[in-house]
Amino acid sequence: MEIIKPGINIDFIGKRKIAFVLSGILILTTFALLLLRGGPNYGVDFTGGVVIQVKLEQTRSPSEIREALAPIELSDSIIQEFGEKDANEYLIRTTKPEVQTAGLGGKVQEALTAKFGQGVDIRQVEMVGPQVGEDLRQKALLAIFYSMLLIAVYISGRFEMKWLMSIIMALALASAVYVSSLFGAGVTILILIALVVTVGFCWFLNLRYAMGAIVALMHDVIITFGAFALTNKEISLSIVAALLTIAGYSLNDTIVVFDRIRENIGRHRRKNFDEVINTSINETLSRTILTGLTTLVVLFALLFLGGTVIHDFAFALIVGIIVGTYSSVYVASPVLLMWEARSSGAGKGKK
Amino acid sequence: MKNLKWRAAILGALILMALIYLTPSLSKELPGWWSSFLPQEKINLGLDLQGGVHLILEVEVNKAVESHLERVVEDLKSDLRKSKIRYVDIRRIGTEGVELICMSEQDPKDIEKVIEANYPDYNLEPPEATEKGTSYRMIISPRAKDHIVRMAADQALETIRNRVDQFGVSEPDIRPQPNHRILIQLPGIKDPKRAIELIGKTALLEFKLVDEENSLEEALGGNIPPGSEILYQSTYDSKTGRKVNVPYLLKKRAPLTGESLTDARVSIDSQYGDPYVSISFDARGARLFERITGDNVGKRLAIVLDNNVYSAPVIRDRIAGGKAQITGHFTMEEAKDLAIVLRAGALPAPVNILEERTVGPSLGQDSIRMGFRSMVVGGLIVILLVALYYKLSGLIADLALLLNLPLMMAGLAFFGATLTLPGIAGIILTIGMAVDANVLIFERIREELRLGKPPRAAIETGYSRALVTILDSNVTTFIAALVLFQFGTGPIKGFAVTLSIGLLASFYTAVFFTRIIFDYLYVHRKRKEVSI
């Protein structure tokens, strides 16, 4: 069986302008949404506070639950229905710092049992102190930063034999981040500085492949973030893990195409670079689609059957993998082409 | 085909190893001979799967420094009295040291002598004249402060370990973290509220005399006599059933504390059937208790735990033998927990709960069931897809996929890793991605076949060409997993571990295992048509 006929030749590179516009719109929408909403919707992991998930025997309205919580001073907490319909599961959220948060789950159980009778099941309690929330946010951002850095080093070394240069880049980056942290810059700023420096170094050192891969990766992570902003889902620790996995997967896809480009450059010396890229994308197309498909199949199984806890995690991965597959074809390779054209001047690299 | 035999032998050995490592996790009880020389590591289920409590506590080490300095203040008072030096005031300065104010007539040399002789850990600053008199500031040395902080953190960890052990949790995980924090994981616990209260209680037991020379009313009005304090007893009003706080005016100084305890047990009152806690003192404590009760017959002695008065009985007679009782309106559980914290000893400093994550057992079971269900459904669809697409070769890849699962599980058992819900997601994701390596190889083989190469050559080139790409893509995912492991906590770490183990396992099964079968079919048996 074959989805893609051998010898197919779709003109991906020719359509790159349309793709750039589409990607640009998606990224701008993400930023606009984030601005509109006043930043990402961070979950309790990052903001600090308490979330208690309870299962009741009967459906209760949020105001009934709030009323039941009045004796323990939680009447102004946010009550949300959670999970499937008729599951009678609710999330109780509070960020009140003055509430004694230790063992709050037990107190909530007592208060609800007093009002509604037996059958109150405390499914989950998550209490994160404000300091810890700050710590976790820093760690998560640092994790994203370091993975990008290491991946950039690996790609530059592997594809362009520029191990030394990429190591110099890594050191420069680390020191840039260190120096700016001396001036008391927040982690968000540090990440921005690091990204600017990474892209800048790729530019000056002419690390084309790393540039293409990093741009595609950032593209995927940002758009996945945007999908979360659009659906107003919470960014929790496990979503950050999903984002990093997306980074890994996105690269996986990009590298398969890049590998083929590198191989084909040696094989078709007469062809223009854009033709080589196009051929390479077409040759790997059936693999790109099949792998994307099998991964999506299991992720959809996870989304629909995996239960509420893992739902958002699966959602993030699904968005990321769809966008990642698209970007390895329409973003990574065109960026590589643009850089090639730039570095070889108006020569044969240009169309 | 010697080479093929060797590879098959390695495969056999790997499968055998995997089975051996899986046995402890799968069987309920291992035969006795097993544990003597075979591995017993099990795959641990994370808290999110089996339910339980995850806590991060912070030891308020500054409080330990403060109470150390308070003791120094008391000691210094008696040292000065012994040396017949009169002072105006002695007080603690934050967590920095102690300030002593003396009359300006006092010879600084005498004071220096006392301080240097008794407090080598303190630096005495040059005296300064103030309104009240000459001020001497003793600043604690950073080394001594560090020592107090470290001791407090270590002792808190030890005390909490003791409490958890006595509470009876099957496999608790308690370990120190940077910044005087303690990570506590209590899997499978039924009553999280009780456990958290037990762990977080400072449990500082003090015996304090009730100040009967001064009036309680006046003190409540704001005029608290020096050396005394107001503490409350919370009890239930027997008529209304409401909680009420009864104030007591107590002497601040505690002549006897929980440090002198040797044992604490729950007993039942024979008359009313109420539980109470009976405590025993060590020799020094027993002597002290005898003296305190003997000197204060007719007065009231309050039993104070963490600044809450439990009871304040009237001393009827001198009590010898070093035994006492703590009564209150306890439930059986409260009395048991009180006995545990008293036996395990007080925390050297209060602790703050910075993070608490509790997963109820019902949610954990749901997560396992649903995770497993999605794994089966997703896996079956993928297996079907691959078999349809690549025919016989697809079936070989499916076999590799199935082999992948026991290998991953064995890998988890081998590293003693913890399986979490994101970890299950990691396994499911690896199923999807494991196919990728085979897809890469098969696409290459198809390309080579189209070029008209014979099966053997096509397979050989297909594998060697695809290998480079597979390696590259696996390394980048591995980097992401490594970073996740470094920065992640709890469940996220579990995800990183399963993802890495999955990458390794799928690399072996997709590249080496399938090659064995291909070589057997097309090189050994010399089949002419490749079904791909």
A315, pLDDT greater than 90: yes
pLDDT of residue A102: 63
Surface of B (136-195) touching A: CB under 8 A: 191-194
Chain B neighbors of A127, CB-CB under 8 A: 353, 355-357
- For position A132, what pLDDT does the model report? 79
Would you call B435 and A129 a contact, using CB atoms and an 8 Å cutoff?
A: no
Q: Which residue has the tokens 């003597």?
A: B36
Contact A146 B486 (CB under 8 A): yes
| Over residues A328-340, mean pLDDT | 88
Mutate to test the interface with B, among A252, A267, A312 (most CBs of B within 10 A): A252
Indicate the pLDDT class of residue A250, thresholds 50, 70 and 90.
confident
Q: How confident is the model at residue B440 (pLDDT cuts 50, 70, 90)?
A: very high
Q: Is B380 on the interface with A (CB under 8 A)?
A: no
pLDDT-based confidence at A350, cuts 50/70/90? Answer: very low
pLDDT band at residue B241 under the 50/70/90 scheme: low
Beta strands per DSSP E along B151-214: 173-177, 181-187, 205-209
**Per-residue tokens: B439:** 């897809």
Which of the pair, B19 or A144, is modelled with greater confidence? B19
- Kindly tell me if the per-residue pLDDT of B441 is higher than 90: yes
CATH for A13-43+132-343 (3.40.50.2300, 1.10.3720.10, 1.20.1640.10, 3.90.470.20): 1.20.1640.10
Highest mean pLDDT among A52-61, A168-177, A239-248, B474-483: A52-61
Calculate helix-pair angle for A237-267, A333-343, nearest 10 degrees.
50
Please, which residues bridge with residue B266 across strands?
A: B277
| Beta partners for residue A82, in sequence order | A89
> Helix or strand or coil: residue B90?
strand
Cα–Cα distance, B474 to B467 (Å, whole number): 10
| A6 contacts in chain B (CB < 8 Å) | 446-447, 450
> Which of the pair, B270 or B373, is modelled with greater confidence?
B373
Probe site for chain A from B334, B450, B469 (most A CB atoms < 10 A): B469
Asked if B476 lies within 8 A of A248 by C-beta distance, the reply is: yes
Which residue from B356, B382, B486 is facing A102, i.e. has the nearest CB?
A: B356
Set of chain B residues whose Cβ sits within 8 Å of the Cβ of A103: 192-193, 196-197, 200, 356
Q: How close, in Å, is residue B398 to chain A by CA atoms? A: 12
List chain A residues with CB under 8 Å of B378. 297-302
Give the pLDDT mean for B299-307: 90
How many residues can be counted in chain A? 351
| Average pLDDT across chain A, whole number | 82
Q: Which of A92, A239, A244 to mutate to test the interface with B (most CBs of B within 10 A)?
A: A244
Q: State the average pLDDT over residues A176-192.
A: 69
CB contact under 8 A, A147 and B382: no
pLDDT at B399: 93
Report the sign of the C-alpha dihedral through residues B505, B511, B514, B515, in that order. Answer: negative
Q: Which of B355, B482, B491 comes nearest A238 by C-beta? A: B491
Q: Catalogue all structural domains in chain B, each as residue range(s) with its CATH number.
A: 2-51+362-524 (1.20.1640.10), 62-141 (3.30.70), 201-358 (3.30.1360.200)
Does residue A15 surpass a pLDDT of 50?
A: yes
Give the nearest partner residue to B56 out of A132, A140, A146, using CB atoms.
A132
Euclidean distance between CA atoms B99 and B92, whole angstroms: 6
Task: Check whether B157 has a pLDDT greater than 90.
Answer: yes
d(C-alpha A258, C-alpha A65), whole Å: 56
pLDDT of B146 > 90? The answer is: yes
What is the tens place of the pLDDT at every residue in A143-177? 777 777 777 778 877 777 777 877 777 787 777 77
CA distance A309 to chain B (A): 8
Please state the rounded mean pLDDT for residues B236-241. 66
Please classify residue B396 by burial: count the beta carbons closer than 10 Å to its beta carbon, then call 0-12 exposed, 13-18 middle and 19+ buried: buried
Which sign, positive or negative, has the C-alpha torsion B253, B256, B260, B265?
A: negative
**For testing contact with chain A, the best of B386, B492, B493, B495 (most A CBs within 10 A):** B492
Å between B523 CA and nearest CA of chain A: 24
Q: b or e along B24-60 (b: 16 or more beta carbons within 10 Å of the residue's beta carbon)?
A: bbeeeeeeeeeeeeebeebbbbbbbbbbbbbbbbbbb
Contact B476 A155 (CB under 8 A): yes
A301 to B378: CB separation less than 8 angstroms, yes or no: yes
CA distance to partner chain B, nearest, from residue A205 (Å): 21
Residue pLDDT, tens place only, B311-345: 888 998 898 888 888 887 788 888 888 888 888 88
Model pLDDT for residues A192-218, shown as the tens digit of each residue: 777 777 777 777 777 788 888 888 988
In chain A, % of residues over pLDDT 70: 92
For residue A140, pLDDT over 90 is answered with no
Q: Do B447 and A128 touch (CB under 8 A)?
A: no
Lowest mean pLDDT among A156-160, B61-65, B363-367, B467-471: A156-160
Please state, in angstroms and rounded to a whole number, the distance separating the CA atoms of residues B418 and B424: 11
Per-residue model confidence (pLDDT) at position A100: 60
Question: What residues of A are in contact with residue B450 (Cβ under 8 Å)?
Answer: 6
User: Quick one: what percent of chain B has pLDDT higher than 70?
Assistant: 98
Q: Over range A83-91, report the average pLDDT.
A: 82
Half-sphere exposure of B93 (CA within 13 A, CB side): 13
Please determine, for residue A63, whether its predicted confidence score (pLDDT) is greater than 70. Answer: yes
Shortest alpha-carbon distance between residue B510 and chain A (Å): 14
Contacts of A253 in chain B (CB under 8 A): 473
The nearest alpha carbon in chain A to B491 belongs to: A238
Other Cβ atoms within 10 Å of B133 Cβ, number: 18
Q: Between the CA atoms of A5, A11, A17 and A20, what dihedral angle is there, to the nearest 10 degrees?
A: 30
B210 pLDDT tier (thresholds 50, 70, 90) = very high
Distance CA A225, CA B200 (A): 38
Tell me how many residue pairs between chain A and chain B have CB atoms under 8 A apart. 237
Please state, in angstroms and rounded to a whole number, the distance separating the CA atoms of residues A250 and A323: 8
Pick from A106, A122, A238: CB nearest B492: A238
H helices present in B248-360, as ranges: 283-295, 332-344
Ranges A4-18, A148-162, A308-322, B266-280: which has the least confidence: A148-162
* Measured distance between the N- and C-terminal CA atoms of chain B, rounded to whole angstroms: 24
Residue A348, pLDDT > 50, answer no
Average of per-residue pLDDT across B502-529: 88
Per-residue pLDDT tens digits for B388-405? 999 999 999 999 999 998
Cβ-based contacts of A166 with chain B (< 8 Å): none
Average pLDDT over residues B243-259: 87
Q: How far is A258 from chain B (nearest CA, A)?
A: 9
Q: What is the pTM of this model?
A: 0.81
| DSSP bridge pairs for B209 | B301
**The pLDDT of residue B392:** 92
Task: Kindly state the average pLDDT of the residues A170-189.
Answer: 71
B89-128 confidence digits (pLDDT tens): 888 998 999 999 988 787 888 888 888 888 989 998 888 8
Alpha-carbon distance values, B396 to B43, B510, B521, B528 (Å): 28, 9, 11, 17
Among the listed ranges A318-332, B6-20, B228-242, which one has the minimum average pLDDT value?
B228-242
CB neighbourhood size of A130 (10 A) = 13
B356 in A contact zone (CB under 8 Å): yes
Nearest residue to A132 (alpha-carbon basis) of B489, B263, B281: B489
Confidence band, pLDDT 50/70/90 cuts, at residue B469: confident
CB contacts under 8 A, B 48-107 vs A, are: 48, 56
The pairing of strands B418-419 and B44-45 is parallel
Question: Is A241 in Cβ contact with B422 (below 8 Å)?
Answer: yes
Name the residue of chain B whose CA is nearest to A106's CA. B193
Q: Does B4 touch chain A (CB under 8 A)?
A: no
CB contact under 8 A, A309 and B481: no
Closest CB from B358, B374, B492 relative to A305:
B374
From A346's Cα to the closest Cα of chain B, the distance in A is 32
**3 state SS of B42:** coil
The reply to whether B354 touches chain A by the CB within 8 Å rule is yes
Residue B345: left if φ>0, alpha if ψ -120 to 50, beta else—which one? left
Distance from CA of A345 to the nearest CA of B (A): 30
CA B458, CA B205: separation in Å to the nearest integer?
80
Calculate mean pLDDT across residues A113-126: 86
Please tell me the predicted confidence (pLDDT) of residue A4. 75
Res. B517: pLDDT tops 60: yes
Average pLDDT, chain B: 87
Q: How far is CA A98 from the centre of its chain?
A: 34
Contact (Cβ atoms closer than 8 angstroms) between residue B87 and residue B100: yes
pLDDT score, position B188:
82
pLDDT of residue A347: 42
Q: Which fold has domain A50-128?
A: Alpha-Beta Plaits (3.30.70)
pLDDT at site B322 = 87
What is the residue extent of each domain of chain A?
13-43+132-343, 50-128
Chain B residue with Cα closest to A140: B487
- Shortest Cα distance, chain A CAs vs residue B320, angstroms: 40
**C-beta separation of B269 from B276 below 8 A:** yes
Q: Using alpha carbons only, how large is chain A's radius of gyration in Å?
A: 24
Cα(A228)–Cα(B335) distance, integer angstroms: 49
